């Protein structure tokens, strides 16, 4: 088989650009664009006065403060722990490595409500771990700390699975060259390895943060749902829907959407800057 025949066979493996692009746009429209456009369409019935009243309501502001602060704390912690886990999985061999690697994806497969119930049972005042922490004055369940813990649980796979393939493809010749020139381990990591991993680490942080902002199932049980203290924004949306306050729920959801888009936009700018700086 000559080169021309081989190239023709390769071109027939997938359909042309027009067909694949059409399927992609159709899928994106059905799954992403239509639901978002429905939210924006429902928000058109809101007057600016109503929208401003909902946006500046103390209970709404408190729910955003809880959601954003706990999601940021969980994402930052996961950025460190995820990098550590990815490093162990890539750079070391040990018994049970495949099982350990598979457990990283458990939060993806486990229903979030099950995770929330399990974490609440463990960290409540009478739980296995909560009963040990209670005498020390450390309360986890029904506090922002418990919400952060739940968001850490559901967000850790995003960081590990984003950093792991980049770390596997990382050329180790530069590390060996740095070692031969007398650079220590920490200096090699900070000057050689970390700049290469930083864009992927930033992506994992953004994914974990975005997931944490909108998380509901794993948080609703362990948070305690106390207004002004541990009530998250997604729970407030559900509360307003149950009270048939569709305009208020739409306003809260729209603000949450705008915050997520703004956060992703900033993260993309940082990623572009990181890639240009590493060249």
Q: How far is CA 111 from CA 32, 76, 125, 151, 184, in A?
A: 22, 23, 24, 14, 44
Q: Across the chain, where does the E strand assignment appear?
A: none
Angle at 63 between CA 61 and CA 67, to 5 degrees: 120
> Could you please report the per-residue DSSP string of 19-67?
HHHHHHHHHHIIIIIHHHHHHHHHHTTS-HHHHHHHHT-HHHHHHHHHH
Global pTM? 0.81
pLDDT in tens, the chain (279 residues): 455 555 555 555 666 677 777 777 777 777 766 766 666 666 556 677 777 888 888 999 999 999 999 999 999 999 999 999 999 999 888 898 999 898 998 888 888 888 888 898 899 888 888 888 888 888 888 999 999 999 999 999 999 999 999 888 887 777 777 777 777 777 777 777 888 888 889 889 988 998 898 888 889 889 888 888 899 999 898 888 888 888 888 888 888 888 877 877 877 787 777 667 666
Q: Which two tokens stand for residue 158?
A: 């995003």
User: What is the spatial distance between Cα 84 and Cα 189, in angstroms, rounded to a whole number?
Assistant: 12
Chain centroid to CA 148: 12
88 by Cβ neighbours in 10 Å (0-12 / 13-18 / 19+) ranks as: middle
User: What is the spatial distance between Cα 276 and Cα 279, in angstroms, rounded to a whole number?
Assistant: 5
């Amino acid at each position: 088989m000559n080169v021309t025949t081989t190239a023709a066979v390769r071109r027939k493996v997938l359909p042309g650009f027009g067909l694949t692009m059409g399927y992609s746009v159709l899928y994106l429209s059905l799954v992403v664009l239509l639901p978002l456009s429905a939210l924006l369409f429902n928000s058109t019935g809101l007057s600016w006065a109503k929208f401003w009243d909902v946006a500046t309501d103390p209970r709404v502001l408190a729910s955003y403060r809880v959601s954003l602060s706990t999601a940021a704390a969980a994402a930052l912690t996961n950025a460190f722990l995820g990098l550590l886990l990815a490093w162990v999985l890539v750079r070391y061999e040990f018994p049970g490595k495949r099982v350990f690697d598979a457990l990283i994806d458990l939060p993806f497969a486990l229903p979030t409500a099950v995770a929330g119930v399990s974490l609440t049972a463990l960290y409540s005042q009478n739980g296995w771990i909560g009963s040990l922490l209670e005498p020390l004055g450390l309360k986890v369940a029904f506090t922002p700390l418990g919400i952060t813990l739940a968001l850490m649980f559901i967000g850790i796979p995003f960081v590990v699975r984003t950093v792991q393939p980049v770390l596997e493809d990382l050329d180790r010749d530069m590390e060996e060259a740095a070692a031969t020139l007398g650079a220590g381990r920490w200096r090699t990591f900070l000057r050689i390895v970390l700049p290469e991993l930083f864009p992927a680490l930033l992506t994992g942080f953004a994914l974990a943060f975005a997931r944490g902002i909108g998380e509901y199932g794993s948080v609703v049980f362990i948070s305690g749902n106390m207004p002004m203290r541990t009530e998250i924004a997604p729970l407030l949306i559900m509360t307003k829907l149950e009270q048939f306050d569709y305009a208020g729920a739409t306003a809260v959801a729209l603000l949450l959407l705008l915050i997520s888009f703004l956060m992703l936009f900033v993260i993309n700018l940082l990623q572009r800057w990181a890639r240009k700086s590493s060249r």
